[in-house]
Amino acid sequence: MTDGRPVSIRRASRIGPLANLPVFFKLDGKRVVLAGGGEPALWKAELLAATGALVEVFAETFAEGFQELAASPPNGEIVLAAKRWSADDLRFAALAIGSFTDEDEATAFAAAARSAGVPVNIVDRPALCDFQFGAIVNRSPLVVGISTDGAAPVFGQALRSLIESLLPQSFRFWAEAARDIRRRGDAFGNTPDEKRRFWQRFTDFALRHAERGPSEADIAGLIGKETADSAVQPVALVDVVPDVDALTLGAVRVLRTADDIFFDDGIQPAILDFARREARRHLVASTNANIQELADNLMQAAANGGRVVRLKRLSGADQDKLLAEADALRAAGVSVRVIATAVPPLP
């Protein structure tokens, strides 16, 4: 021991505060009530029908496009009821959406929906909403939702455009393949660890071949690699500088696939947010940690078949400290690979 103290590990929070809980409703075959016949309601009707819902639209008049949409919905069914909504119409609905110009009617609709036990959204009136519609990136069954808690819709749309440019259309085929694979039961693994390793291989392969969808040969090859992947994976040692934007794609990638993360005091929560929520987070609290005990913890985590990441907090002038820890861990028996977040890359 360098100072007589063991490595101190304590549990860290896995997530920061949320303005909203992002959830995805399964609406296929379910009834949704939409009150309003204007342009905003037209888009909501099309969006809801795309999920496979039965959308009942109540309005005394309908904007141009409603009749055509009802005749040929993108999915599901749209029924136009040429009358004002009533409280009875809300019974047994999965969701209720209202689009009104009159504040009193909007308030009454929200109250009637809640009285019926139906989650409600009122277009452009966040104070009356139980849930909100975010901007959507559609690679269904891969769907990305973006929310600014109603604070900046235009900003949310700009982020949607950015994500659209980063997610090729072929990702929908990888997501469809994943859904089909899950229907095969245990074909991709008999234990939780085997299944997790399969999905890690699947994801890595999909990201490397984002220009196309998968073939049957691809899937068969990924399933057949379980034996080859059974060896203990090296620990990824990542230097973390104060600026979260300095993280390289390589560093982000290992964080996203990590099962155990050992990190120093002072690591920004935004960096840990790149990790899966299921990843176990271990705070190495002592700045003078016993390297052998740290090495034992790392090796134990790796021996369980997991992918282990060690985040070491550095400044730009401390790169030699990263290499020194890598050498010390190797001397203690840990297989280590170094992932740099600064330029030039480290060996």
Pick the residue with more confidence: 221 or 99?
Answer: 99
Q: In whole angstroms, what is the distance from residue 249 CA to residue 140 CA?
A: 25
Domain assignments of the chain as residue spans, ordered by start: 31-130, 171-230
CATH number belonging to the domain at 31-130, selected among 3.40.50.740, 2.102.10.10, 3.40.50.720, 3.30.1330.40: 3.40.50.720
Read off the pLDDT of each residue in 277-302 and give the average, rounded to a whole number. Answer: 81
β-strand partners of 235 = 336
Using the predicted structure, report yes or no on whether residue 1 has a pLDDT greater than 50.
Answer: no
Read off the pLDDT of each residue in 337-346 and give the average, rounded to a whole number. Answer: 60
Asked if 306 and 260 count as a contact pair (C-beta separation under 8 A), the reply is: yes
pLDDT confidence tier of residue 12, bands split at 50, 70 and 90 = low
- What's the distance, CA 25 to chain centroid? 15
- The string of DSSP letters for 211-276 reads TS---HHHHHHHHTTTTGGGSPPPEEEEEE-S-GGG--HHHHHHHHT-SEEEEETT--HHHHTTS-
Among 149-153, 170-174, 232-236, 244-248, top mean pLDDT goes to 170-174
Pick the residue with more confidence: 51 or 233?
Answer: 51
Neighbours of 81 (CB within 10 A): 15
Quick check: helix, strand or coil at residue 311? strand
Pick the residue with more confidence: 203 or 80?
Answer: 80
Pick the residue with more confidence: 70 or 13?
Answer: 70
Pick the residue with more confidence: 14 or 177?
Answer: 177
Give the pairing type, strands 280-284 and 260-264: parallel
Quote the pLDDT of residue 87.
97
Quote the pLDDT of residue 344.
44
Q: In whole angstroms, what is the distance from residue 253 CA to residue 137 CA?
A: 21
Among 73-77, 245-249, 323-327, top mean pLDDT goes to 73-77
pLDDT above 90 covers a percentage of the chain that reads: 44
Show the tokens assigned to 226: 């379980």
Using the predicted structure, report yes or no on whether residue 218 has a pLDDT greater than 70.
Answer: yes
pLDDT confidence tier of residue 13, bands split at 50, 70 and 90 = low
Quote the pLDDT of residue 315.
61
Quote the pLDDT of residue 287.
54
Quote the pLDDT of residue 320.
74
**Cα dist from 21 to 42, 130, 187, 269, whole Å:** 26, 11, 33, 19
For the entire predicted model, the pTM comes to 0.67
Average pLDDT, the chain: 85
Quote the pLDDT of residue 43.
95
